[in-house]
């Protein structure tokens, strides 16, 4: 096609649109909205194409983090029958809204990245709260099936091969139940990549055991084989791990439970983050544990807050510290159940 012959037509159309925009405020707003939607549609197409290309490169082979991992074809009653992954996976069951309110309240971040975001429920929830939230995941299935509010903001990304973002691009990076999926020898490289893209704070939840300086201690139950549990419980605080592969708990298919490969102590993880150039903010962690206590999650979310050395402490200035997450607008069954129990106790 001879583009030179189309140039006058394109120019005439552009000029006509410019005149219409100059003459009508509603038309100008509509054009701006349409332009934004077209740009987002193009981005959605790009990330979906990227996910499909990655899936094709695998030869269509099922990966651990394919559709079955996210509950497709499983019993929706909630009984996973010993399999890893989810019986059902949605915004409520993922506790995404609790995590979103926790991060929004406790960090003054504007641009965020959720590494290992799955289908992006946390990205969607953070965007609902007004943050410029993005996410990445190693699963092509998850990226292609991103939640509606995250579609276009979730990309393929692998900590091992490098994330598709610039140095220091995000002032808050989250990694929720992700790092334990890596073999221990790959953890240092992954943390270096987190350090590269983080310009402020990393919030991580990592199944851990042993003493915790900011909240409930960790435990071995569900992390090691039942027949080895007593042995590990007898080792005392000097043992930091990681637990060797042959002692990791396995599912009914003989694979490590949930794909967990790096099971170690709070001290071990803290040391690895320190080697990657992070400082641990235990005081901020204590505040976060207090926020999730009403939902009964403090024992299950082994959480960490790590900051780059020059991160301003103001980045962790809480919004409305005198109010609970529920009072700030969080609606979630765990929160509502706790509120009902508290009200019943007062009435009793």
pLDDT tens for the chain, residues 1 to 348: 455 565 565 466 566 665 776 777 766 666 555 544 444 444 555 545 554 444 444 444 346 566 556 555 555 665 554 554 565 788 998 899 999 999 999 999 999 999 999 999 999 999 999 999 999 999 999 999 999 999 999 999 999 999 999 999 999 999 999 999 999 999 999 999 999 999 999 999 999 999 999 999 999 999 999 999 999 999 999 999 999 999 999 988 898 988 999 999 999 999 999 999 999 999 999 999 999 999 999 989 999 999 999 999 999 999 999 999 999 999 999 999 888 877 777 766
Do 75 and 53 belong to one domain?
no
Do 178 and 32 belong to one domain?
no
Domain around 137: 67-340
Do 293 and 209 belong to one domain?
yes
Would residue 190 count as lying in a domain?
yes
| DSSP E strand stretches across 119-267 | 132-137, 154-156, 170-176, 198-205, 208-209, 264-265
Sheet holding 198-205, edge to edge: 154-156, 132-137, 111-115, 170-176, 198-205, 303-307, 279-280
Would residue 242 count as lying in a domain?
yes
Would residue 348 count as lying in a domain?
no
Among residues 175, 153, 159, which one has the least CA distance to residue 48? Answer: 153
Do 111 and 211 belong to one domain?
yes
Do 167 and 116 belong to one domain?
yes
Do 289 and 168 belong to one domain?
yes
Report how far residue 296's alpha carbon sits from residue 334's, in angstroms, rounded to the nearest whole number: 8
Q: Count of CB atoms within 10 A of residue 321's CB?
A: 11
Which CATH number is 301's domain given?
Answer: 3.40.50.150
pTM of the entire predicted model: 0.80
Do 197 and 266 belong to one domain?
yes
Structurally, the chain folds into a number of domains equal to 2
Residue written as token pair 């074809």: 73
Do 174 and 262 belong to one domain?
yes
Q: Count of CB atoms within 10 A of residue 22's CB?
A: 10
Would residue 346 count as lying in a domain?
no
Do 18 and 147 belong to one domain?
no
Do 255 and 279 belong to one domain?
yes
Would residue 73 count as lying in a domain?
yes
Do 83 and 179 belong to one domain?
yes
Do 136 and 237 belong to one domain?
yes
């Amino acid at each position: 096609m001879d583009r030179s012959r189309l140039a006058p037509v394109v120019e005439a159309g552009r000029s006509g649109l410019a005149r219409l925009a100059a003459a009508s405020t509603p038309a100008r707003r509509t054009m701006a909205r349409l332009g934004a939607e077209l740009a987002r549609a193009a981005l959605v197409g790009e990330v979906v194409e990227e996910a499909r290309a990655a899936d094709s490169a695998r030869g269509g082979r099922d990966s651990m983090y394919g559709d079955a991992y996210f509950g497709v074809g499983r019993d929706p009653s909630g009984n996973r029958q010993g399999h890893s992954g989810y019986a059902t996976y949605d915004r409520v069951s993922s506790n995404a809204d609790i995590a979103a309110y926790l991060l929004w309240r406790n960090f003054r971040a504007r641009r965020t990245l959720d590494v290992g975001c799955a289908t992006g429920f946390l990205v969607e929830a953070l965007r609902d709260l007004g943050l410029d939230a993005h996410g990445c995941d190693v699963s092509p299935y998850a990226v292609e099936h991103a939640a509606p509010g995250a579609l276009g903001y979730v990309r393929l990304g692998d900590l091992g091969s490098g994330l598709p973002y610039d140095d220091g691009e995000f002032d808050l990076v989250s990694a929720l139940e992700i790092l334990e999926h890596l073999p221990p020898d790959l953890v240092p490289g992954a943390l270096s990549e987190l350090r590269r893209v983080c310009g402020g704070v990393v919030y991580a939840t990592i199944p851990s055991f042993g003493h915790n300086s900011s909240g409930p201690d960790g435990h071995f139950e569900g992390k090691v084989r039942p027949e080895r549990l007593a042995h590990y419980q007898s080792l005392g605080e000097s043992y930091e791990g990681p637990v060797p592969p042959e002692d990791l708990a396995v599912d009914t298919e003989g694979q490590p439970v949930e794909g967990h490969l790096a099971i170690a102590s709070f001290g071990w993880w803290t040391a690895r983050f320190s080697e990657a150039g992070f400082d641990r903010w235990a005081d901020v962690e204590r505040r976060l544990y207090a926020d999730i206590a009403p939902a009964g999650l403090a024992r299950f979310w082994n959480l960490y807050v790590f900051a780059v050395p020059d991160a301003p402490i103001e980045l962790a200035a809480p919004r409305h510290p005198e109010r609970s997450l529920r009072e700030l607008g969080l609606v979630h069954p765990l929160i509502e159940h706790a509120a009902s129990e508290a009200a019943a106790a007062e009435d009793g």
